Amino acid sequence: MLDFLSSKRPKILVVGDLMIDNYIWCDCTKVSPEAPVLVMNTKKQDKRLGGAANVYANLEALGADVLALSVVGNDENGAFLKKSLKGLILLEDEKKTSLKTRILSHSQQVLRIDDETVCDTKLEEELLFGFNKMLKELDAIVLSDYGKGVLTHRICACIIQKANEREIPVLVDPKGDDYSKYSGATLLTPNKKEAMQALKFNSLNEENLEEAIVELKDRFKLKFSMITLSEAGIAIYDDKLHIIPAKAREVFDVTGAGDSVISVMAFCMALKVPLLKACEIANKAAAVVVSKIGSATVSFDEIRKFEKNDFEEKIKSKEEVQNILKDKTNIVFSNGCFDILHFGHIKYLQKAKNLGDILVIGLNSDASVKRLKGEQRPINSQFHRASMLASLYFVDFVVIFDEDTPYELIKALKPDILVKGADYVSKEVVGADLVKRVELIKFEDGFSTTSIIERIKSE
């Protein structure tokens, strides 16, 4: 199915509240002498598409031909969005483009600052005129509502009515407690809290889930009814209730997971993929996205990798990885012997992956380990160690090197970020002069290969 989907390019329109997610990555090492607040030392800033624009970015990553229809402020951030997206982006003087700034220290969000104007747009006529010109080309429509004023009652009603006349699916990520403006849509994607709010339920659990999902379908005249259940998966109702279990292996950040779900659902429904199959693929997409930090996208290649995890294909030569990484950015590199892979390694590498987009592990060869650790090491051969690392879904490539240090490998691969353990805080990090920055990650307490070997010997 994924091969079929990745070969298609449906035209999908995203209508809704475009935003910018601005991430400021900091180090935090002290408390201010002026007030009881943390002092943050900025390392980098990362401006990403957010809100409805993140849905656009997800659809583009999936391979769709995407158009956006929205209103933003006549300001610098609005100009950025207008330049970044295809479609019709109108500028409104009275509006300030939504900017959400998140400050993170060591991958942990510590503060969010919102700068925006929330009011209904005055440009309904222009939006609807633009929509009518696009309509005949569309395979699906996503209404991404963040409550900032683009998706008024009139806009929603007109889009849904005209799409229904042409049998074009309309998927809605709803906002607020009045879903009447979405009546007649193909599908809504509220989470449990949002569904409770819209239906005026005091609670939502296994006992009344079917009642809630049916009422959602009937009250708002939907073709299908859906409620996302966070770690429990997705509930979907056609003529009966189905629960699609969650697939996430590790959750780092749920930001944008709903955007990825609705994007995959829209892509699949544009191509008339059966409903339950679409939900299964969307669940896997969510599992990939929540393992990343911040607003993120997902591709069918990543979903395929998550599904199959054909790990031996990830073990590459230096030359192979050099060629693959050509023109790529946000590359993270770490290295080590990884003789007995344990929980501490897994948590460390997962945190490393979340610092960028591609994680490459440099693995000491058997000869290299013997020189560093002694004749009794390694316990496991280089192929077995490489295979264990490659089996981790968040590891992208493993490269075995024979030198005592990875300096030449780092020089060849040109990663952006070099990751080592926090015990290197006062030590020289080999290759630090070759990368944009070095990140030190704290190891999980109580885990080390040496201590594991000693315990085995003592028993």
In 6-26, which positions are buried (b, 16+ CB within 10 angstroms) versus exposed (e)? eebebebbbbbbbbbbbbbbb
Q: Is 205 annotated as a binding residue?
A: no
Task: Single out the residue of 167, 148, 135, 188 nearest to residue 13, CA to CA.
Answer: 135
**What Cα–Cα distance (Å) separates residue 225 from each residue in 114, 258, 273, 384, 424?**
32, 15, 16, 47, 52
Length of the chain in terms of residues written = 459
Is there a binding annotation on residue 193?
Answer: yes
Distance CA(182)–CA(205), nearest Å, equals 24
The vertex-132 CA angle with 50 and 58, nearest 5°, equals: 25
Tell whether residue 194 is among the known ligand binding residues: yes
Q: Which helix (H) or strand (E) holds 141?
A: strand 140-144
Using alpha carbons, select from 112, 116, 102, 131 the residue that is nearest to residue 73: 116
Tell me if residue 231 falls in helix, strand or coil.
helix
Q: CA separation (Å) from 453 to 223, 326, 349, 376?
A: 59, 40, 21, 11
Q: Does residue 192 have a known ligand-binding role?
A: yes
Cα distances (Å, whole numbers) of residue 450 to 350, 369, 446, 454? 21, 13, 11, 6
Catalytic residue status for 93: no
Phi-psi group of 220: left, alpha or beta (phi > 0 → left; psi -120 to 50 → alpha; rest → beta): alpha
Place of tokens 């201590």: 451
Q: What single letter denotes the amino acid at residue 119? A: C
What's the rounded Cα separation, in Å, for the pair 325 and 332? 11
145, 173, 259, 416: which is the annotated catalytic residue?
Answer: 259
Please state the residue numbers annotated as binding site for ATP: 191-194
Please state the residue numbers annotated as binding site: 191-194
Residues with catalytic function: 259
